[in-house]
A and B are shown apart, each in its own frame.
Chain A
Amino acid sequence: MNVIVNDLLVNYSRQGKGSPLLLLHGWGDRLETFDAIARLLEANNTVVRLDLPGFGKSQAPNEAWGLEQYAEHVSNFLQKIDCQPTAIVGHSNGGAIAIYGLANGQLRADKLVLLSSAGIRAVERGRKFAWKVLAKTGKVATSTLPAGARASLRTRLYKSAGSDLLIAPSMEATFKRIVSQDVEAHAAKLNMPTLIMYGKNDTATPPEYGEKFHRAVKGSKLILLDDADHFMHQQYPDKISALISEFLES
């Protein structure tokens, strides 16, 4: 489905019935990253996902955006489709956007789930890690498909996520701006029940990030998963969605 938010075309999806749950994807990713867990979560929730500007099938912003603009955009989007989520799930950069938006009153939610959330900006990592994520997005997102389809889909993913959108000058600048924003301090302002999950094998956003966020968010719950990497929601959709549901019901 499409909708126009402040003159930007936004691609989104809404499925299921129940209290609304917003899923935010990471850098270089698209809403399809949550296909598996959305199918599981829709039994008890209205699951809302969007392609963030510059990704998937949503239009890129005309200028360099930071976390604040992304958070503002998500807020405007929710208003446009007339939806107030009871909980937000953010993966990677989507987690950073959620933390920023919730800490600064742009977004509202009763509960927060962080999946391999980014936002701790270790100096030396930055750019290198983001490229890794980018490459990985293509790989993991397609790993469930047969070989032939995978190859063609990956070309497509790389094309949209990798070349086309990054060619847009604003996205290059957006990228630089975002990787310079650390949200650890913002996380300390959060006061809602928060579930934090990290994969022990995650090299993009290592478990230490989780420990930092866990320390920052009062009363948060931290789960470190064995054999999981940055895309644990694609690796273990059953487990992750079960943990999310359990947390939402508690």
Chain B
Amino acid sequence: MKTVLVIFGGRSPEHDVSIVSAIAAVIKPLELLNEYRVEPVYIAKDGAWYWDDRLKDVSLYRTGQVDQLMSKSNSPWLEFDGGLQLVKQQSLGRVRKQRIDIVFPVMHGSHGEDGSLMGLLEMAGVPYVGCDVPSSALAMDKVLAKQVAGANGIATGTWVWLTKQELTSDPTRAKAKISSLTYPLFVKPAHAGSSIGITKVASETELDNALEVAAHYDSKIIVEEAVPNLIEVTLPIMGNAEPRPALLEQPLTDADTFFDFETKYMHGGKKKMPGKKGGKLGAHGYSNLPAKLPGDLYKQAETLGLDVYRALGCSGTARIDMLIDSKAGKVYFNEINPMPGSLYAHNWRAAGVSGTELAKQLLRLAEERHIEAEKIQTSFSTNFLKQF
């Protein structure tokens, strides 16, 4: 039986979401399959790691008992012995060791979804689920993601970017960049996950405060023109060389009211949408699944999503968010999530992939990528050292 290490929690503001994603969408289905041994590693808000079987139970976090557990446990360490071993000092001088065959990182946001954890796992030479280092890093930087997509001929809308440094040293010049854009605008931190620090700005008078808020979260800021006649859609994709789309999903938000972090996560996605009919309750709120789009827009959006996935070099899974101008019939790439909340299992289920199947497929893709990479990286001997 292969041992899967599931890593979740973390220092990002999406810490709580990560716990739910890991337990509901990864640990539970994998344990139900009885085909893998599942080891949980929880990263606390302060960055400390914990390894304990009890961490698989979501009630531990809900009741706050996790605090007691943390105060009584030692943190584990990782042993890079040509592979990966998890090691922990236990009471009476005993040491618990566990060889890890595959890692399933279920981290959202910075310090985890951004490629940093993937780098560690690359160094250990262990297969891991989800996007690799470069694609994760690209995905978590809204500016880089759009630049790479744009360079591959993918429509990204109209936007500019600036740094906090520019903003403080020469605000006039920095803001001159923005003057070419047409209001309303979205001002966003380039890296923060979910909707944190994002402000919709109707006119220039509101711009300063919005820039300040974005700069509070990030040293890099992106300012985008709002897409008119907006339909927002999102598409989960899975696969390595041959990516496969799930269903295009349309969150039923009012195009003018911006969905902030609170509505997205804190309300459990169950906020009432007055006056909206035909919505289906998905894991992240009311949505049309699959999205009902006029003409060939569904096909267009699906194609664009797959193009982005390939352009950014994604593997494993990712979710592409797109903006559609329904009058112009134009689809724009907005952003990409390398580790969608709860793996977007509700969408995959509607697309015919069960929760257990999804987790299993992702493990298979991780191993497949690892084997492919090893084929390429065969080391060869040189006589370089002998020259000295």
Contacts and interface: CB of A to CB of B under 8 A. Distances in A.
Q: Do chains A and B touch in the complex (CB under 8 A)?
A: yes
Given A9-B213, A155-B62, A1 B199 contact: yes
B266 A4 contact: no
B268 A152 contact: yes
Given A57-B262, A152-B268, A156-B266, A4 B62 contact: no
A7 B213 CA distance: 9
A4 B209 contact: yes
Contact of A2 (B64, B213, B266): B213
Contacts of B262: 57
Interface string B186-223: 00000000000101000000000100110110000000
B194 to A, nearest CB: 13
Interface string A148-159: 010010011000
Interface string B304-323: 00000000000000000000
A69 interface: no
Nearest to B266: A156
B213 A3 contact: yes
A4 B268 contact: no
Interface residues of A, number: 14
Interface in B254-270: 262, 266, 268, 270
A163 B64 contact: yes
A3 B268 contact: no
Nearest to A164: B45
Interface residues of B, number: 13
A176 interface: no
A2 B268 contact: no
A4 B213 contact: yes
B171 to A, nearest CB: 14
A80 B266 CA distance: 28
Nearest to B45: A164
Nearest to A81: B209
Nearest to B64: A163
A9 B192 CA distance: 15
Interface string A1-40: 1111001010000000000000000000000000000000
Nearest to B205: A82
A80 B209 contact: yes
B216 A4 contact: yes
A1 B212 CA distance: 13
Contacts of A7: 216
Contacts of B215: 4
A231 B135 CA distance: 51
Contacts of B197: 2
B209 A3 contact: yes
Contacts of B216: 4, 7, 9
Contacts of A80: 209
Contacts of B199: 1-2
Given A57-B262, A152-B268, A4 B212 contact: yes
Interface in A156-173: 156, 163
B311 to A, nearest CB: 32
B64 A3 contact: no
Contacts of B212: 3-4
- Tell me which of B62, B209, B215, B262 has the highest count of chain A C-beta atoms within 10 A of its own C-beta: B209
Nearest to B261: A57
A63 B262 CA distance: 27
A3 B187 CA distance: 13
A155 B64 CA distance: 10
A102 B212 CA distance: 29
Interface in B269-294: 270
A9 B196 CA distance: 11
Contacts of A81: 209
A27 to B, nearest CB: 21
B98 to A, nearest CB: 32
A3 B215 CA distance: 11
Contacts of A155: 62
Contacts of A149: 270
B76 to A, nearest CB: 24
19 contacts: A1-B199, A2-B199, A2-B213, A3-B209, A3-B212, A3-B213, A4-B209, A4-B212, A4-B213, A4-B216, A7-B216, A9-B216, A57-B262, A80-B209, A81-B209, A149-B270, A155-B62, A156-B266, A163-B64
Interface of B: 62, 64, 197, 199, 209, 212-213, 215-216, 262, 266, 268, 270
